[in-house]
Amino acid sequence: MTYCVAIKLNAGLVFLSDSRTNAGLDQISTFRKMIVYERTDDRFMVLLSAGNLSISQSVREILQIEQLKEAPESEPITIWNAKSMFDAARVLGSAIRHVHTRDAESLKQAGVDFNVSLIFGGQIKGEGMRLFQVYSAGNFIEATPETPYFQVGESKYGKPVLDRVLTPETPLDEAAKCALVSMDSTLKSNLSVGLPLDLVVYEANSFQTDKVVCIDENNPYFKMMHNNWGKKLREVFDSIEDPMWKGEQTDVPLMAEGQRNKPLRKITTPQEKLI
């Protein structure tokens, strides 16, 4: 399995992915889940993938040559000449359907589902940044100010911190920290997600970035963040009072006077126990 997260902010985009792939308890491998498509001063796009590794690798390769033909006399659209990220996402959807047409039936006969989940985002000159989540059928949805991030793979463990911290106004470096905390929470709770991590931070309207890093277990920032996050969580947990049922020991008792909502309760008498 894997975990990938991408965040769209007013200031730019953040992409983060792990690299663990497992096909059983004794078949754990490292494969990169992120690929960057870049043409200086024209376009910058990042693709993150989760799901069946053979499918996602095929989609990544075909994406670079896949063409959409709108009309017989029109120029075919590729990710390299698309005028918008929406059109580039459509090319990605077409690449997924291409692989499905070619491989889905054979996979089905082998008992393997056609399973791939992708995040695709970036910026093409002439429009703003956009971020999409693309499904196995090739259809996709776009990030909004209300939902400024997407996750694929083992998403549940890293979601709470994203929901609590992120807004479109969040600074880029703070969002990168949030993504790393989200990943750290996932690493802590799920063995199918693992290091090294790939992190890309893109500043709006730059069409390139030098903030690209591969993070392994020796990375000093990630080690510091991992240790401090666990420590601070424990400190916050310890600062909250233990539940007190009644009395004057706390202003916020767990059981308030006159509380009416109670679970159904079955009382067993000593006589019933003997029967």
Architecture of the 3-227 domain: 4-Layer Sandwich (3.60)
Nearest-angstrom CA–CA distance, 149 and 167: 9
Residue 26, pLDDT score: 67
Residue 179, pLDDT score: 98
Structure tokens, 234:
């424990």
Is 70 exceeded by the pLDDT of residue 77? yes
Other CB atoms within 10 Å distance of the CB of residue 97: 17
* pTM score, whole prediction: 0.91
- What is the band of 273 on the pLDDT scale with cuts at 50, 70, 90? low
Is 90 exceeded by the pLDDT of residue 269? no
Is 70 exceeded by the pLDDT of residue 260? no
Main-chain dihedrals φ then ψ at residue 9, nearest 5 degrees: -125, 170
SS (H, E, C) the chain: CCEEEEEECCCEEEEEECCEEECCCCCEEECCCEEEEEECCCEEEEEEEEECHHHHHHHHHHHCCCCECCCCCCCCECCCCCCCHHHHHHHHHHHHHHHHHHHHHHHHHCCCCCCEEEEEEEEECCCCCEEEEECCCCCEEECCCCCCEEEEECCCCCHHHHHHHCCCCCCHHHHHHHHHHHHHHHHHHCCCCCCCEEEEEEECCCCCCCEEEEECCCCHHHHHHHHHHHHHHHHHHHHCCCCCCCCCCCCCCCCCCCCCCCCCCCCCCHHHHHC
- What is the band of 72 on the pLDDT scale with cuts at 50, 70, 90? confident
- What is the band of 42 on the pLDDT scale with cuts at 50, 70, 90? very high
Is 80 exceeded by the pLDDT of residue 79? yes
Residue 264, pLDDT score: 76
For residue 195, give the amino acid letter: L
Is 80 exceeded by the pLDDT of residue 24? no
Is 60 exceeded by the pLDDT of residue 274? no
The whole-number average pLDDT for the span 147-152 is 97
What residue segments make up the domains of the chain, in order of their start?
3-227
Is 70 exceeded by the pLDDT of residue 151? yes
Is 90 exceeded by the pLDDT of residue 259? no
Instruction: Pick the closest to residue 123 from 36, 49, 222 (CA basis).
Output: 36
